[in-house]
Amino acid sequence: MNEHDSERISGLLMAEGMVPTEDVESADVVVLNTCCIRENADNRLYGNLGHLRTLKQRKPWLQIAVAGCLAQKDKELIREKADHVDVVFGTFNVHRAPELLRLAQSEGPQVEVWDGPGTDSDDPYGFEIRPARESGHQAWVTIQVGCNNSCSFCIVPSVRGPEASKPFQRVVDEVSELARQGVIEVTLLGQNVNSYGRDITLSLRTANPDSFDVALAGERWARDPARRPRPLFADLLRAVGSVEGIRRVRFTSPHPKDLLHETIEAMAETPAVCEQLHLPLQSGSDRVLAEMRRGYTASRYLERLAEARRRISDLAVTTDIIVGFPGESDADFEETLEVVAEAEFDSAYTFEFSPRPNTRAAEMHDRFVDPAKVSERFLRLKQVVDRSALIKHRARIGRLEEVLVEGRSRRDGSLVGRTRQGKLVHLRDAELPAGSLANVLVTDAGAHHLVGEIVEEIERPRRARLGVVAG
Ligand code: SF4
């Protein structure tokens, strides 16, 4: 989501005539778009600003802007710590970036962080901002901003506000436009995609129980005589998955407590929806899950997972896990290991707990787990995850997989792509443009990747790059 926000900021600035550069030394404007999900983001921001201070001493006309969650959280503090920053803007006024940069040139430093969506705008959530997309064949599409949950470790609700969904038809139109431009894979983005549209149907029902607004809530909801307030994510998956030209639909992230039967059915019945599910577990201990305020138990999580695997064949499942949540005992951690082993994840993003300001978990100082113990648990968890990932990946050796070519690996220069399950594949001795689809024979596997040989080309990209449209 943060990377997509960077694309949106780039889109706004490119519409003003700026051109992107990979070389920071040659830039006239540098925007640091921050994420404060984890603690080290703060350290990285001020480290980067330290380097930019030297650059600005050599290039006094250089403008430096700080955006994103950390700007939303720290506001004036950023300029107090780094007075060479020209502009600070938050998550609710991204659209103001070009104007603030202009004002900073004529009037000096600008700090403008809104506490919520603008009330005087037709587009309070910035849904109309046109991103400058890096890829011509893959695109992120925001379907929802904010979050109505209150996980005790998470800073997102305080820096992104409550959930707001992009109108249904707006999402479908955006995906249709992307398909016309050559995009074949879209990833739908939201903090809790499963609850997409609940706010829309609730407000439609409250304002007018007989509402028949297809554009806001989609045809399936509008034609349902009951028109009860409910999430629309399953309807959206079906609608986006049937857009002509879209070969792959992914989404991130669903919340386990809201993973509805209808969503699993929509995934199973919509061929374009990839066989991939990122379902954040966070902990395998019911006691810790309750303290995290996650709203499910380990067994409930495993039941949902089992249902998804029953309905969607060859489903790859990934997850997020936090190690060392305050008060996590050895027994709690053992329970996490047991659930992780039972779930047989394809991979997991594992994190050591880091306290975030204004969260309940940050106040549990007296129960913080000894850092040495957290590191030891982290390594043990990684071993369990890597073991199941390796088994899963090795089981794919000898199979034919449809791979979407992404380009050259920065690490070793080999051509890389992804299967429908989202698995990274290194393609040996291959030459195909990014955006091509090919059938690939898997010849080897590691815990984090596959290796393969192209057997046949399926299709080449229809267009290499997207243009940025101003206005
Ligand atoms: S669901 Fe929980 S972890 Fe995810 S963004 Fe919302 S509060 Fe944060």
* 466-to-11, 228, 266, 374 alpha-carbon distances in Å: 12, 39, 30, 45
State the pLDDT at residue 469.
40
- Report which protein residue has its CA nearest ligand 1's atom 8: 154
State the pLDDT at residue 470.
38
Query: Using CB atoms within 10 A of its CB, is residue 83 exposed (0-12), middle (13-18) or buried (19+)?
Result: exposed
State the pLDDT at residue 463.
61
State the pLDDT at residue 39.
74
- Per-residue pLDDT tens digits of the chain, which is 471 residues long: 888 899 999 999 999 999 999 899 999 999 999 988 777 777 889 999 999 999 999 999 999 999 998 999 899 999 999 999 999 999 999 999 999 999 999 999 999 999 998 877 788 888 989 999 888 999 999 999 999 999 999 999 988 899 999 999 999 999 999 999 999 999 999 999 999 999 999 999 888 777 778 899 999 998 888 888 999 999 999 999 999 999 999 999 899 999 999 999 999 999 999 999 999 999 999 999 999 999 999 999 999 999 999 999 999 999 999 999 999 999 999 999 999 999 999 999 999 999 998 899 999 999 999 999 999 999 999 999 999 999 999 999 999 999 999 999 888 888 999 999 999 999 988 889 999 999 999 999 999 999 999 999 999 997 644 444 433
Residue of 189, 191, 325 best suited for mutating to test ligand 1, as the one with most atoms within 8 Å of CB:
191
Is any atom of ligand 1 closer than 6 Å to the C-beta of 154? Answer: yes
Distance CA 71, CA 90 (A): 5
Three-state DSSP at 415 gives strand
Following DSSP, what letter does each residue of 178-192 receive, concatenated? HHHTT--EEEEE-TT
User: In which residue are the tokens 């129980």 written?
Assistant: 209
Alpha helices for 208-329 (secondary structure H): 214-217, 219-223, 233-241, 261-269, 286-292, 298-311
Beta-carbon contacts of 319 under 8 Å, excluding residues fewer than 6 positions away, are 278, 279, 280, 281, 340, 343, 345, 348, 349
State the pLDDT at residue 464.
44
Is any atom of ligand 1 closer than 6 Å to the C-beta of 151? Answer: yes
How far is ligand 1, taken at its centre, from the CA of residue 155, in Å? 8
Topology at the third CATH level for domain 400-459: OB fold (Dihydrolipoamide Acetyltransferase, E2P) (2.40.50)
Query: Which residue type occupies 103?
Result: L
Q: In CATH, which of 3.80.30.20, 3.40.50.720, 1.10.1040.10, 3.40.50.300 is domain 138-394? A: 3.80.30.20
**CATH number, domain 2-112:** 3.40.50.12160
- Report which protein residue has its CA nearest ligand 1's atom 1: 149
Beta-carbon contacts of 306 under 8 Å, excluding residues fewer than 6 positions away, are none
How far is ligand 1, taken at its centre, from the CA of residue 149, in Å? 6
Residue of 192, 282, 291, 325 best suited for mutating to test ligand 1, as the one with most atoms within 8 Å of CB:
192
Distance CA 165, CA 328 (A): 35
How far is ligand 1, taken at its centre, from the CA of residue 191, in Å? 6
Pick the closest to residue 261 from 233, 239, 286 (CA basis): 233
Is any atom of ligand 1 closer than 6 Å to the C-beta of 160? Answer: no
Residue ranges of the domains in the chain? 2-112, 138-394, 400-459
Q: Ligand 1, closest atom to CA 148?
A: 6
State the pLDDT at residue 324.
98
How far is ligand 1, taken at its centre, from the CA of residue 154, in Å? 6
Phi-psi group of 61: left, alpha or beta (phi > 0 → left; psi -120 to 50 → alpha; rest → beta): alpha
Length of the chain: 471
Distance CA 37, CA 2 (A): 10
b/e string for 317-333 if b means 16 or more Cβ within 10 A?
bbbebbbbbbbbeeebb
Is any atom of ligand 1 closer than 6 Å to the C-beta of 192? Answer: yes
